[in-house]
A = this chain, B = another copy of it.
C-alpha cells in the first residue's frame, strides 16, 4: 500500500466511510432512579460503540462502516447500522458529509458520510447493551471520539426542525399510536411542554391522521383513540432519479421491512425519507 512522500499523500484523496446517528425514544420514566433531575418528558437515546483502537481508543463513537462501489450510500449506511446494532430503522436519511482534515486527530484523514436513523421505541427497548455497544440518553452522553459529539448535535437539530413539517415523529412510534404518545414524542424532541389541547387539534386538522377505531389504554384511565399516519398527499411519482434524495432506490437486500410506510410532503428543505419505497414530492 503506502503512499510515496508527504506531498503526494496530501494531494491524495482521503479515506471515506459512513456513520449513522441512531435515535429512539427512551422509556417514559427512567428518572425515578434519580440520575436525571426530574425529566418531565421522555428523552431520546442512541446506541454508541466503543472504539478499540487509536485514536480515541476507549471513547465512544457513532456506528460506522465502509463504502462499497456496488452499493448505494443508503445501503452502506444501513449495513453499518445493522452490523453493529441489528436494528431496523423506520427512517433513514443522509445528514451531512464531514471531511475537515483536522477532524481525524492523528488518524488517517477521513471523510464521513453521515446518516441519521429513527428506530421505533419498542425495538429499541428490546435491545440489550453489550460490552462494546451501549445506549445513551441525549442529555447524558459520554466522552465522544472525533467530532461525533457535534455530529450528534447536528442530527438532533435536524430532527427538531424536521418534526415541524414531516412525519418523522411517527417513526419513533409504532405504526399506530395515540395522540398522547405522539404528543410525548414532540415534547421529547422539542425539550419543552406543548399544550395538549392545541396539539391535538393541530394534528387532527392536518388530515394526515386516520382514526383506526381502536382504543388503547396508556395509563390506567380512560382509553384513547388510536391513530395511523396516512398522508393525503397523492404522491407525485414523476421525474425522480435514483440516488436523488427524493427517490429511495429501494434496498437490494430485503432487510428493513417496516417499508410500506407513509410518504410525506417535503415542505421545506432537503432529503426525504429514503426508506419509503415509492417516489414522493
Q: Which of A147-177 contact B (CB under 8 A)?
A: 147, 149-151, 153-154, 157-158, 161-162, 164-165
Q: How long is the Cα–Cα vector from A241 to B148 in the complex, in angstroms?
A: 10
A269 on interface, CB distance cutoff 8 Å: yes
Q: Which of A99-113 contact B (CB under 8 A)?
A: 99-103, 109, 111, 113
* Cβ-neighbour of A161 out of B157, B243, B269 (below 8 A): B269
Which residues of chain B have C-beta atoms less than 8 A from A94's C-beta? 96-97
Binds B, one of A69-77, A131-139, A184-192, A214-222: A69-77
Tell me whether A270 and B101 are in contact (CB under 8 A): no
A36 on interface, CB distance cutoff 8 Å: no
Q: How long is the Cα–Cα vector from A205 to B11 in the complex, in angstroms?
A: 49
Supplied contacts A14-B16, A16-B16, A73-B98, 10 more A-B pairs, CB within 8 Å: A13-B15, A13-B16, A73-B97, A73-B111, A147-B243, A154-B244, A161-B267, A161-B269, A161-B270, A162-B269
A240 on interface, CB distance cutoff 8 Å: yes
Q: How long is the Cα–Cα vector from A103 to B69 in the complex, in angstroms?
A: 11
Which residues of chain B have C-beta atoms less than 8 A from A70's C-beta? 10-11, 101, 109
Tell me whether A99 and B113 are in contact (CB under 8 A): yes
A271 on interface, CB distance cutoff 8 Å: yes
Tell me whether B150 and A99 are in contact (CB under 8 A): no
Q: How long is the Cα–Cα vector from A141 to B68 in the complex, in angstroms?
A: 32
Q: 3 nearest interchain CB pairs?
A: A100-B243, A269-B269, A69-B109
